[in-house]
Every structure is written in structure tokens, then in C-alpha cells.
């Protein structure tokens, strides 16, 4: 099966053959094991990473790694084929909703309703566990609704912003 991952406008193609993952015709050794209540230990070619607050949507996977929040767009073989043929995917785009990856306090809202944003642009700064976490737009578009304000406390998975 072929996959395409997009992070910060950089696209990478992958191929899954059985349990093997290949990029540029080179195998990538990996494994993923649950760790704690909401975390995982990820090994990539022998390098170990602790990944937590993993959210999997229809065509996006978001996670926290070393205190930074990442959101990676994913396209499967069928979606890639439809795009090559000039058709758009039939999936509903919900990736524009930004949710709190963990409980915390809103330090800054860096956009306003009606603003245009690019995928990967910082939109909110959330303080959690004494660290500032920049939450980035997962899709390009227009800010339709901001549900929080500076100084407000939020719980994990609270919808913060809607991008359309």
C-alpha cells in the first residue's frame, strides 16, 4: 500500500509491504508500543521516542513529541489515485479543528476570527506542565470560530479553534 505524509508542506511518499515501511526504496525499521495511559514508545531505526496525546482523524495524525505538537496529513493509496485522476477526496475536512492536546491555560491567541492562516502557522500558545506549547494550524484556511480567550483554562480535547 502506498501512503503520502505531509508535514509543513513537505510531502513524503511511503510504501507498506507487509510489516515493512519503505521510503525512497529503503526499509525503515520501526515499532510502536503503548506506554502509560496515553503514550507510546516509538522506535525508528533504533532511535527511541516518547510520543503522547495521539489523536487520529480521518486523514491526520496529531501527537506530542518532546513538548512540541505535530500534525501530519496522511493520504492513502485510494486518495492519491483519485487526486491523480483529477478528483477530490470524498472525505469531510475536519482537520481544521484545533483541540487542546492536554489540559492547560491559554497564554496567547495569535489570530482573530476571519484571519487567513497557513497549515503549520502558530495560532495559540498553551501553557501545560510549566511549558509553552505552540499549537499550529493543521490546515490552511480562514478562522471561522475561536472558542477560547487568553487566560482561560482548558481540558484535554477541548475544541479551541475552527478553521474552514
* 57-113 residue pLDDT tens: 778 888 888 888 888 888 887 777 777 766 655 444 445 788 888 889 999 999 999
Q: In the CATH hierarchy, which fold is given to the domain comprising 96-164?
A: OB fold (Dihydrolipoamide Acetyltransferase, E2P) (2.40.50)
Element (H, E) at 116: strand 116-117
- All CATH 2.40.50.100 domain ranges in the chain, comma separated: 96-164
**Phi-psi region at 127: left, alpha or beta (left = phi > 0; alpha = psi -120 to 50):** beta
* 130-157 residue pLDDT tens: 888 888 887 888 999 999 999 999 998 8
Which stretches within 32-87 are classed as H helix?
A: 77-84
- Cα separation, 22 vs 57, in Å, equals 23
Share of the chain above pLDDT 70, in %: 92
Of the candidates 24, 25, 44, 42, the residue with the CA atom closest to the CA atom of residue 33: 42
Question: To which residue does cell 491526520 refer?
Answer: 60
Of the candidates 31, 120, 101, the residue with the CA atom closest to the CA atom of residue 62: 101
Average pLDDT over residues 33-53: 86
pLDDT of residue 86: 67
Concatenate the DSSP letters of all residues of 123-158 into one string: EEEEEETTEEEEEE-SS-EEEEEE---TT-EE-TT-
- Contact present, 71 and 33 (Cβ < 8 Å): no
pLDDT of residue 96: 72
Average pLDDT over residues 10-15: 86
Contacts of residue 138, defined as CB under 8 A and 6 or more positions apart, other chains included, come to 60, 62, 71, 73, 95, 96, 98, 119, 163
pLDDT of residue 90: 45
From 3.40.50.300, 3.90.180.10, 3.30.700.30, 3.30.450.30, which CATH number describes the 1-90 domain? Answer: 3.30.700.30
- All CATH 3.30.700.30 domain ranges in the chain, comma separated: 1-90
CA end-to-end span of the chain: 30
Question: To which residue does cell 513524503 refer?
Answer: 12
Amino acid at each position: 500500500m502506498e501512503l503520502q505524509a505531509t508535514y509543513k508542506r513537505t510531502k513524503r511518499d511511503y510504501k507498506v509491504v507487509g510489516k515493512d515501511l519503505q521510503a525512497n526504496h529503503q526499509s525503515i525499521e520501526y515499532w510502536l508500543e503503548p506506554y502509560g495511559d496515553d503514550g507510546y514508545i516509538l522506535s525508528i531505526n533504533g532511535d527511541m521516542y516518547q510520543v503522547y496525546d495521539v489523536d487520529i482523524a480521518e486523514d491526520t495524525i496529531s501527537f506530542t513529541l518532546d513538548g512540541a505538537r505535530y500534525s501530519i496529513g496522511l493520504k492513502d493509496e485510494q486518495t492519491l489515485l483519485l487526486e491523480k485522476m483529477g478528483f477530490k477526496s470524498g472525505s469531510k475536512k475536519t482537520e481544521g479543528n484545533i483541540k487542546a492536546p492536554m489540559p492547560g491555560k491559554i497564554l496567547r491567541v495569535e489570530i482573530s476570527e476571519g484571519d487567513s492562516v497557513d497549515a503549520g502557522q502558530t495560532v495559540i500558545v498553551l501553557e501545560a506542565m510549566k511549558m509553552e506549547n505552540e499549537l499550529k494550524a493543521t490546515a490552511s484556511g480562514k478562522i471561522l470560530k475561536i472558542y477560547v480567550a487568553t487566560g482561560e483554562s482548558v481540558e484535554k480535547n477541548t475544541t479551541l479553534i475552527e478553521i474552514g
